[in-house]
Structure 1
Amino acid sequence: MTDSPGTGKNLLLPLILITSLFFLWGLANHLNDILLTQFKKVFSLTDLKAGLVQSAFYLGYFLLAIPAALWMKRFGYRAGVVFGLLLYGLGALLFYPAAQVREYSVFLMALFVIASGLAFLETSANPLIIAMGDPATAERRLNFAQSFNPLGAITGVLIGREFILSGNEPSAEELAAMSASQLEQFYQAESHAVQGPYMVLAAVVLCGALLVWLARFPRVATQPAVDGGAGSWSDYRWLLANGRFMAGVMAQFFYVGAQVCIWAFMIRYGQEAMPGTGEKTLAVYVLASLVVFMLGRFVATALMARVRASWLMGVYAAINMGLCAIALLWPSHSGLLALVASCFFMSLMFPTIFALSVKGLGERTKAGSSLLIMAIVGGAVLSALMGWVSDLTSIHTALVVPLACFAVVAAYARSADRHLVAQQPVIQRRSMETSL
Structure 2
Amino acid sequence: MQQIELPYGQGLDGGKGYRSLNISQDAVHYSFREPEYAVEESDFRMRLRDLVEPMLTQRGKNTNVAIVVADKTRLCGYTTILPWVVTTLQELDVDPAEITFFIAYGTHPRQSDDECLKAYGEVYNNYRFIHHDCEKREQFQELGKTGRGTPVRVRKELCSAGLVLTVGALSHHYFAGYGGGRKLIFPGLGEREAIYANHRLFLDPEQSTLSAGCRPGNLVGNPLADDLRDMQSRMPDYHSIHGILDSKGEVARFIFGDSYQDFLAACDELDSYYTVEQKEQYPLVIASAGGFPKDINFIQSHKSIHNAAPLVEDGGTLIMFAECRDGIGSKTFLPYFRMGGWKQAFTELVARYVGNGGTALAMMEKTRRIRIALITDLDEEICREIGVKKISPDQAQLVLDDLDTDCRVGVVANSSLLVTKQKVGIAGGKTVVQP
Q: TM-score, normalised by structure 2?
A: 0.29
**Higher relative strand content:** 2
> Which of structures 1 and 2 has the larger relative contact order (alpha carbons within 8 angstroms, sep 6+)?
1
